[in-house]
Structure 1
Amino acid sequence: MKLDYNLNLTQEQKLIMTQSMQLSIKLLQMSTVELKEYIDKEFAENPTLEVKYEDLEDGSNSKDKLDYKEMIKYLEFDSYGSQNYSAYDQDSDISPFTFISSKKSLKEYLIEQLREQLNDKELIAISSYIIEGLDERGYLTSSIEDLSDELKLPQKSVQAAIRIIQSLDPVGIGARDLKECLKLQLLRKNCTNEKLYSLVEDHLESLADNKYPQISKELNITLQEAQELGDIVKSLEPKPSRGFYTGEDVKYIIPDAIIKKLGEEYVIIMNDGVLPRLSINPIYKELITTEKDKEAVAYVKDKLDSALFLIKSIESRRSTLYKVLEKVIEKQKDFFDKGDNYLRPMTLKDIATELDIHESTVSRAIREKYILTDRKTIKIKDVFSSGIQKNRDNEDVAVISIKNKIKVLIEEEDKGKPLSDQGICDILNKMGFNISRRTVAKYREELGIKSSSKRKRF
């Protein structure tokens, strides 16, 4: 076999992902909160970068001052957690700070109750220790034996402390498992029906599956009685900590844009106020021409390049999102006018084709971004929906519209004879929707609706 060694020249084109391109893509897909955090980090590391937040106290912006009296009338405050209240007008009758309260954790609330109800310092100390060990649901996961060993105390003292904790609010706190949690709530309600406690102790799985015929047979009661007992149990709270601060901060939604209807047209107002204005520190511009130290000049030039690229990339992100939203409004005008039932099928590819950009660019531009409309705050991704064929008029219908119809059909069904997935499928087919039973089942599960056997009422 003969081996030859040759040198060959070939010419080919390759797309090399430079660091700058990677950063540009990264910035495009950042949410507003992520971008703000990134800007703060860059500001701390890059001395040539200047960051300035909008100063609402500036006289030149006095026309933009917020009227809190008007805002309180129609805005939902939980959607505006990032709002800057530094410019609050002290002469106003209503302060937004009136609506802000400090976070009180479940454990703090329980210990407060202990101190109000008990004088025994030792019992308070034992109970407080046990409370600190409750999990995020409000359950006690440590055994009495383990707690006794940890505290070097007799089990009777630990049991006494647990009984105290279980007498506090919210009801069910300090339970060792779900069954005990539910039974504690029944006791607090002064329920004396032994069948009810038997249902909790022995038949929770059957209750979850709506197996009332089996429950009625095993408890020797009628179907109606089984269902009534089941309704009582289902009204109880399986997670006593619900509604209390458990240590995780609430993540607020900051809309990237506001869609406002003016006359017959919709306008896009980019929410630029949540991000700082970036500029270049003029001192460093001058330094390049006056400084003789080559290393210092090279360092400054590198930082200036980084700052300029960041400013350019943020503006590009804003511009891309604006163009995408323009096309979204153009294609979904009925949705913005009339609501969810009028959402038309629209894919990322549709918008990408219209704008002559790559589909992945659209995907990154809308990732984790929200818009504020006259009706509600919407995740931009939610207005993109695939469609299924509607036979009657040969039109595409958005999945969300089909889901809404399934939801309405189930809400209006005879609860004694709930509609099966096939039954819903037949009704939708008669309405002109080309949909299969399997698709109905899939959409029903996505809506969090149980099957017909679990919805049946006796």
Structure 2
Amino acid sequence: MEFKLNLTQEQKLIMTQQMQLSVQLLQMSNFELQNYIEKELQENPVIDAEYKKNENNKLDDDFDYKKFIKSIEGDNYNYHVNYDRDEEMASPFNFISAKKSLKEFLQEQILELNEPEYIKSICKYMIENIDARGYLDISIDEIVEELEVGKELSEKCLKIVQSLEPDGIAARDIKECLKIQLQQKSLIDNDLFVIIDKYLELLAENKYNVIAKELRIDVKKAQEYGDIIKSLEPKPSRGFYTGEETKYIVPEAYIRKINGEYCIIMNDGAIPKLNINKLYKSIINSQQDKDTVQFVKNKLNSAMFLIKSINQRESTIYNIIEKILELQKDYFEYGEEYLKPMTLKEIADDLGVHESTVSRAIREKYIHTHKGTIKIKDLFTTGISQIDSFEGISNKIIKKEIQKLIEDENKKKPLSDQKICDILKEKNINISRRTVAKYREEMSIKSSSKRKRF
């Protein structure tokens, strides 16, 4: 062992805090950026924010909600409002709604039961232990131990909870959940219960011939049983609010057709215009307290970089949307079937930026068009070459073609992946059987053998 001094040369990318902030801001959605700016305004005193005001710079106390609702109807910016109608004033409280959770819905049903309070209390305890799927997340033995009640009483209370709506609630597993639903629908058939207990995996694979052989019934009858079971709800909580917060979508831009041309209108109304407070500029010029001056300088540098980064973010997003609009004009004009293959690299090369910059800039961002709110990332698709054509075709369009072929097929003789491949080639879409299988699986469509109807 010995010590040596070696001279080596290597390249490293060291991201400063400012560079990291710039990347973070680019990735943020409008909603996230708005929250970030609000936080910065509280922490950095040198920043002034100027919010966009309405035409009167104030909100009248006697705001006419009837006129407001009519004015925004249909999302038409060239609206015309008729104020001459003598109609009842629309109250803002009519538009306030509350979410009712699954547990609240169940608790309300318990209150209406004609049962002693101690039984209601046990039922309420069980309801509080129902998970997000609608299943009971605690065993009878645990209930007996924790509440110090008898097992027979606990099972009685469980039956009460399981009799509530929605059907199948408070089951311990999927088999019990399905059987509860059958009982509540008065579908009492021993073969149905046997299939649930023993042959759910075969049912998932549509192996009706095997099930029929095991139960010694006709294949068509086994298929009928399968249709009944598949019509049941494996997650009873579906459709109820389970406590997850609503994710708000704020579009980055609006694409409007004005005088025959598509225009990009950046949605920056909720983002304030940031400026530097003049008071803190005078503190630097005064040079009285060195520590104070240094503090203000640091805050000024931070504020200037934030303003610069926000402007750069908006410019980058605008340029990307502008390039997308240029390449996908037919899509915005005529619909999804005209969506062309487009990759991140293609946009990045045209704009002279790195591919990762485009990827960050479109992350969780949306644009609003006359077709609705669209996720920008969904416009990027790979392409498949067409026979006798130099232009590619979007994989989204190919998936739609595959889906349509499967929907229109003879269910007694479903199309194989190879047959779909051959039909697509007749339509000048050059695609392999393996690609057909890949797209079919991505759309959660089963293979031909599992789609077959008897």
TM-score over 0.5 for the alignment?
yes
Alpha-carbon offset, residue 157 of structure 1: 1.5
The question of 1:250 aligning with 2:243 is answered no
Match of 1:155 in 2: 151
Q: Number of residue pairs matched?
A: 437
| Residue type of the alignment partner of 2:72 | M
| Residue type of the alignment partner of 1:450 | K
1:68 touches 1:96 (CA, 8 Å); kept in 2?
no
Match of 2:113 among 114, 117, 142: 117
What secondary structure is seen at the aligned counterpart in 2 of 1:372? strand
- Deviation string for 1:215-247 (max 9, x for gaps)? 222222222222222111111111111111111
Match of 1:344 in 2: 340
Alpha-carbon offset, residue 6 of structure 1: 10
Aligned mates of 1:97, 1:443 — CA distance in 2: 47
| Residue type of the alignment partner of 1:325 | I
Match of 1:282 in 2: 278
Alpha-carbon offset, residue 364 of structure 1: 1.5
| Residue type of the alignment partner of 1:264 | G
Distance 1:244 1:5, change over 3 A: closer
Aligned mates of 1:401, 1:162 — CA distance in 2: 50
Match of 1:84 in 2: none
RMSD, matched Cα:
2.6
Distance 1:242 1:99, change over 3 A: farther
What secondary structure is seen at the aligned counterpart in 1 of 2:392? strand
Match of 1:373 among 358, 369, 374: 369
Aligned mates of 1:235, 1:447 — CA distance in 2: 20
| Residue type of the alignment partner of 1:300 | V
Aligned mates of 1:110, 1:257 — CA distance in 2: 42
Distance 1:116 1:335, change over 3 A: same
Aligned mates of 2:190, 2:278 — CA distance in 1: 81
- Deviation string for 1:233-271 (max 9, x for gaps)? 111111111111111112121111111112321111111
Match of 2:402 in 1: 406
Match of 2:257 among 261, 276, 283: 261
The question of 1:71 aligning with 2:72 is answered yes
Match of 2:102 among 87, 101, 106: 106
Match of 1:382 in 2: 378
Aligned mates of 1:376, 1:402 — CA distance in 2: 22
Alpha-carbon offset, residue 112 of structure 1: 1.2
Aligned mates of 1:17, 1:194 — CA distance in 2: 67
Distance 1:4 1:416, change over 3 A: closer
Gaps of 5+ in 2: 77-86
Alpha-carbon offset, residue 286 of structure 1: 2.5
1:352 touches 1:362 (CA, 8 Å); kept in 2?
yes
Aligned mates of 2:6, 2:111 — CA distance in 1: 89
Aligned mates of 1:425, 1:370 — CA distance in 2: 34
Alpha-carbon offset, residue 55 of structure 1: 3.6
- Deviation string for 1:65-96 (max 9, x for gaps)? 99422434469xxxxxxxxxxxxxxx994456
Match of 1:144 among 136, 140, 145: 140
Aligned mates of 1:96, 1:404 — CA distance in 2: 43
| Residue type of the alignment partner of 1:254 | V
- Deviation string for 1:321-368 (max 9, x for gaps)? 111111100100111111111111111122122222222221211111
The question of 1:393 aligning with 2:389 is answered yes
Aligned mates of 1:205, 1:222 — CA distance in 2: 19
Aligned mates of 2:207, 2:158 — CA distance in 1: 34
Match of 1:25 in 2: 23
Gaps of 5+ in 1: 76-90
What secondary structure is seen at the aligned counterpart in 2 of 1:117? coil
| Residue type of the alignment partner of 1:20 | Q
Aligned mates of 1:149, 1:439 — CA distance in 2: 56
Match of 2:47 in 1: 49
Aligned mates of 1:6, 1:360 — CA distance in 2: 35
Aligned mates of 2:400, 2:191 — CA distance in 1: 39
Aligned mates of 1:319, 1:396 — CA distance in 2: 30
